[in-house]
Amino acid sequence: METKREFPERPVVGVGAVVVKDGQIVLIKRGKAPRMGEWSLPGGGVGLAETTKDAVLREIREETGLEVELAGVIDVVDFIEHDKTGSVIFHYVLIDYLAYYRAGTLAAGSDADDACLLSFDDALALPLWDETKRIIRAAKDMASQDKTKKAAVKA
């Protein structure tokens, strides 16, 4: 039985990633709710019997065409949206990873209407959800401390 995403009975587990390639990060324009039409991190729902790592690798591949290496969890974020009556429309628990590009050509796919590469600073200048900006900042800090990948991140 699939969990309802709109007006759910319990939170839905989702994953996302800050994907770093040549000092830039990947953003996708969301093709469906929640936050349809907004720029965001690639990601999506976790399937039954799917690990969060497998889910984030699948979602990145489906939405961007890229293969990545996961470096670790950045943070866990709650996304809760209510309607005018106070009912919960969406409730996601999102596990965000830092990932590094390995292979593939960036192209929007599945739930993404567009995909692009931007510097950390250019991405942060966009009108993104506050939590997305916080995760991008944390990813930049985390990546700059990762001695083996330091060359991949440019200020």
Beta-strand (E) ranges in the chain?
12-21, 24-30, 39-40, 43-45, 67-82, 88-103, 112-119
What values do phi and psi take at 120, rounded to 5?
-55, -45
Structure tokens, 96: 């965000």
What are the structural domains of the chain?
A: 12-146 (3.90.79.10)
- What are the tens digits of pLDDT across the range 27-82? 999 877 667 888 999 999 999 999 999 999 999 999 999 999 999 999 999 999 99
User: Average model confidence (pLDDT) for the chain?
Assistant: 89
List CB contacts of 96: < 8 A, sequence separation 6 or more. 15, 16, 17, 18, 41, 43, 73, 74, 75, 76, 77, 135, 139
pTM above 0.85, yes or no: yes
Surface-to-core class of residue 64, CB atoms within 10 Å of its CB (0-12 exposed, 13-18 middle, 19+ buried): buried
